[in-house]
Structure 1
Amino acid sequence: MPGLLRVSPARLLLGLSLAAAAALSTAGALHVRVLVVSAPQVTVRVASPAVDGSLGVGALPSPGPGAPRANLWRVGARGERLTLGGQDAGSATLYLPPSPGSTVEIAGKTYRGGVLLRAARGGVQAVNVVDVEDYLRGVVAAEMPASWPASALAAQAVIARTYAAARINPRATYDTCATESCQVYGGVAAEKAQTDAAIRATAGQVVSYGGKAASTYFSSDSGGYTASSAEVWGNPAPYLIAQADPFSAGGPRARWRLEIPLARVQDIAARYGVRVGALKSVAVTRQSPSGRPQEITFTGATGSAKVSGADAGGFIRSLGAGSSRAVLTGLNPLVVEGAGQGHGVGLSQYGALGLARRGYDHLHMLGFYYPGTVLSVLADSGAGQPRLAGAAPLPGLGAAARVLADLPGAAQACTLPQGGDGDLLARRVAAAPDALAWASE
Structure 2
Amino acid sequence: MRLLPALLSAFAALAAAPLCAAQNVRVLIASKATLSVNTAPTSAGPGSASAPTIWNIGVRGGKLTLGGQDTGNALLSLPANVGGTLEVAGHRYRGGLILRATPGGVQAINVVDLEDYLRGVVPAEMPPLWAAAAVRAQAIIARTYAAARINPAAPYDLCATTQCQVYEGVAKEHPLSDAAVLETRAEVVSSGGKLADTYFSADSGGYTASSLEAWGRDIPYLKAQPDPTSPTAQKPWVITAPLGDVEEVAARYGVKLGPLSSVSVSKASTSGRVIQLSFSGENGTQTLAGADAGGFVRSLGAKSSRVKLSVDGGLLTLTGSGSGHGVGLSQWGARGLAESGKSDLALLAFYYPGAQISVLTEAQANTRPQLGPTLPLAVAARQGSAPGQPARTELTAEVTPDLLLEPDLFPALIADLLIPGPAARLTL
**Coarse TM-score class (shorter-chain normalised):** 0.7 to 0.9
Q: Given residue 284 of structure 2, which amino acid in structure 1 is its aligned partner?
A: G
Confirm whether residue 376 of structure 1 aligns to residue 352 of structure 2: no
Identity between Structure 1 and Structure 2 (%): 53
Cα distance, 1:396 vs. partner?
A: 8.0
Deviations along 1:237-258, one digit per CA (max 9) or x if unpaired, are 111111110121369x942000
Cα distance, 1:81 vs. partner?
A: 2.4
Confirm whether residue 24 of structure 1 aligns to residue 12 of structure 2: no
Unaligned runs of 5+ in 1: 50-67, 400-441
The equivalent position to 1:37 in structure 2, one of 22, 30, 39, is 30
Contact preservation (8 Å) 1:261, 1:333: yes
Looking at structure 2, the residues matched to 254 and 155 of structure 1 have their Cα atoms a distance apart, in angstroms, of 25
Alignment match, 2:271: 290
Unaligned runs of 5+ in 2: 43-49, 383-428
SS at match of 1:375: strand
The equivalent position to 1:386 in structure 2, one of 369, 389, 410, is 369
Looking at structure 2, the residues matched to 254 and 128 of structure 1 have their Cα atoms a distance apart, in angstroms, of 41
Looking at structure 1, the residues matched to 232 and 301 of structure 2 have their Cα atoms a distance apart, in angstroms, of 21
Deviations along 1:15-55, one digit per CA (max 9) or x if unpaired, are x36xx2xx413x42101111111222111111249xxxxxx
Looking at structure 1, the residues matched to 315 and 179 of structure 2 have their Cα atoms a distance apart, in angstroms, of 49
Kindly report the root-mean-square deviation, in angstroms, between the aligned alpha carbons of the 2 structures. 2.7
SS at match of 2:251: helix
Looking at structure 1, the residues matched to 266 and 56 of structure 2 have their Cα atoms a distance apart, in angstroms, of 56
Cα distance, 1:226 vs. partner?
A: 0.5
Q: How does 1:32-431 map to 2 (within 5 A)?
A: 32-48=25-41, 70-249=52-231, 254-330=235-311, 332-379=314-361, 380-395=363-378
Q: For residues 46 and 398 of structure 1, do their structure 2 counterparts lie closer, same or farther at Cα, with a shift above 3 Å needed?
A: closer
Contact preservation (8 Å) 1:329, 1:336: yes
Higher RCO structure, 1 or 2 (CA under 8 Å, sep 6+) = 2
Q: For residues 398 and 200 of structure 1, do their structure 2 counterparts lie closer, same or farther at Cα, with a shift above 3 Å needed?
A: closer
Which ranges of 4 or more aligned residues in structure 1 deviate by more than 4 Å?
Answer: 396-399
Q: For residues 279 and 121 of structure 1, do their structure 2 counterparts lie closer, same or farther at Cα, with a shift above 3 Å needed?
A: farther
Alignment match, 2:3: 3
Contact preservation (8 Å) 2:134, 2:344: yes
Contact preservation (8 Å) 2:231, 2:332: yes
Q: Tell me the number of residue pairs that the alignment of Structure 1 and Structure 2 aligns.
A: 375
Deviations along 1:205-234, one digit per CA (max 9) or x if unpaired, are 000011111111111111000011222222
Alignment match, 1:13: 12
Cα distance, 1:288 vs. partner?
A: 0.4
Deviations along 1:339-361, one digit per CA (max 9) or x if unpaired, are 11111111011111111111110
SS at match of 2:370: strand
Q: For residues 328 and 69 of structure 1, do their structure 2 counterparts lie closer, same or farther at Cα, with a shift above 3 Å needed?
A: farther
Superposition TM-score, scaled by structure 1 size: 0.79
